[in-house]
Amino acid sequence: MPTSTPIAPPDAADYDVRTDRSSGPGEPLPPAVVVGVDGTECGLGAVRWAAQEAARRNAPLRIVHATSPPRRREAADSPPPPHARRITAQAYTVAVHTESGLRSETEVVAGDAATVLLTAAAESQLVVLGKSTTGAADEWVLAPVAVRVSARSPRPVVLVPRPRGEATGRPVAAVLGVGEAGDDERVAEFAAEAAQRAGTPLTVLQIRGKRAPAPDGWAGDESEWEQRFPGLEVRRSTLPGATASQVLAATCPAPLVVLSAGHGSLLHRQLDGPHRWLLRHCTSPMALVPPVHRPELDPREEIVAVG
């Protein structure tokens, strides 16, 4: 069974640990933003993005690193290996330097990376992972984990690419038409709230084909948008039957592109072709929102699914 060992930075004098900014006495902290780290520059970029998002959400940041289980049963209670401590300590430093008032914690967990992150996701409000889009060697390590977590997570997953310039002033983008009607509403809500937190406009791109017209619901009602998200500038466009490359051309660069993750299950547990293409080529942070009918994941099921 996976075991977890919360750890503190090796030299407490080099770190600034502060409590949550606005939680009052006796008030419980909201669920954490989880970020997976692996020691790569992509992973540190994800930490920076996650720290900023956690601050916007007034939530704690939980930095998680998965390491190989101990080979001997008697070593199950042994401390995390030095390299794991270095990875989490470096990530902690990046998080504190990015958002100095953020409540952050690090955790080293023995087990398969995707399973560890899916278990952490169940207790979080958001999962953040880094991804390479340059063809570098680490992409072959990061991509399978990102695909498995995005396809099975019970919480939204944000995939952060290598930095390629800031999308300052650009709108957050919501892509509707991937999945069922309820999926559109989940995507629209996530994207609208992200745009409000970031203080940017929102672009809503409807890609549902002509044979499958946009369903009735609040996501297609302009007055409902104004009621739910007052003051938010919403720009709408349609591109029926758009391909993945057309979606990117219509939305990027953006501070965040939001779409449904599709319908993964034990029998269909990977992202489909367009999602995988977007994961490979999107140079903006991309949020994959779980569909309405995705069942809650028992971590033991993931072990069966990928074993």
- Please indicate, yes or no, whether residues 152 and 190 belong to a single structural domain of this protein: no
CA of 87: how far to CAs of 36, 40, 109, 115, 188, in Å?
A: 11, 9, 13, 19, 35
**d(C-alpha 157, C-alpha 290), whole Å:** 8
Contacts of 185 (CB under 8 A, 6+ apart): 217, 218, 219
Q: How many domains does the chain have?
A: 2
Q: Check whether residue 184 and residue 282 sit in a common domain.
A: yes
Residues found in the chain: 307
Phi, psi of 3 (to 5 degrees): -120, 150
Residue 153 lies in a domain: yes
Q: How far is CA 40 from CA 19, 86, 175, 298, in A?
A: 28, 12, 30, 29
Residue pair 174/205 in contact (Cβ under 8 Å)? The answer is yes
Same domain? For 30 and 144 the reply is yes
Q: What is the CATH number of the domain that holds 257?
A: 3.40.50.620
Distance CA 46, CA 215 (A): 35
**Domain-embedded: residue 165:** no
pLDDT at 19: 38
Final residue belonging to a domain, choices 160, 194, 209: 160
The whole-number average pLDDT for the span 171-197 is: 92
Is the confidence at residue 137, as pLDDT, over 50? no
The pLDDT value recorded for residue 208 is 85
**What distance in Å separates the CA atoms of residue 176 and residue 190, rounded to the nearest whole number?**
12
Residue 296 lies in a domain: yes
Does 92 lie in the same domain as 184?
Answer: no
Given 138, 160, 182, the domain boundary residue is 160
Is 197 among the domain residues? yes
Banded model confidence at residue 221, pLDDT cuts 50, 70, 90:
confident
> Are 105 and 89 spatial neighbours (Cβ–Cβ below 8 Å)?
no
Tell me the whole-structure pTM to 2 decimals. 0.84
Q: What pLDDT is recorded for position 212?
A: 62
Please tell me the distance from the alpha carbon of residue 12 to that of residue 106, in angstroms, as a whole number: 13
Q: Is 5 helix (H, G, I), strand (E, B) or coil?
A: strand
Answer yes or no: do 178 and 53 share one domain.
Answer: no
The reported pLDDT for the residue numbered 151 is 87
Task: Specify whether 9 is located in the same domain as 151.
Answer: yes
11-40 average pLDDT score = 65
Residues 152 and 17 in one domain: yes
Together in a domain, 255 and 126: no
Task: Determine the structural domain holding residue 178 and report its residue range.
Answer: 172-306
Closest to 4 (Cα-Cα) out of 89, 74, 64: 64
- Angle, CA 86 vertex, CA 80 and CA 90 arms, to 5°: 135
For 175-184, what is the mean pLDDT?
85
Q: How far apart are CA 282 and CA 127, in angstroms?
A: 18
Q: Assess whether pLDDT exceeds 50 at residue 16.
A: no
H or E segment at 114? helix 113-121
Asked whether residue 255 is assigned to any structural domain, the reply reads yes
Query: Can you give the pLDDT at residue 180?
Result: 78
Residues 188, 144 within the same domain: no
Q: Given this model, what pLDDT does residue 60 score?
A: 97
Q: What count of other Cβ atoms lies within 10 Å of the Cβ of residue 234?
A: 18
Q: Is 166 part of a structural domain of the chain? A: no
When pLDDT is cut at 50, 70 and 90, the band that residue 167 belongs to is low
Domain boundary among 160, 183, 207: 160
Starting from the edge strand earliest in sequence, which strands make up the sheet with 286-289, in order?
3-7, 104-110, 61-67, 32-36, 124-130, 157-160, 286-289, 257-260, 172-176, 202-206, 234-238
Taking alpha carbons only, the member of 260, 272, 264 closest to residue 302 is: 264
| 25 pLDDT higher than 80 | no
> For 62-82, how does the pLDDT look when each residue is reduced to its tens digit (9 = 90+)?
999 999 877 766 555 677 889
Confirm whether 50 is domain-assigned: yes
Residues 18 and 80 in one domain: yes
Is residue 167 included in any domain, yes or no? no
Shared domain check, 182 and 149: no
Same domain as 8, residue 145: yes
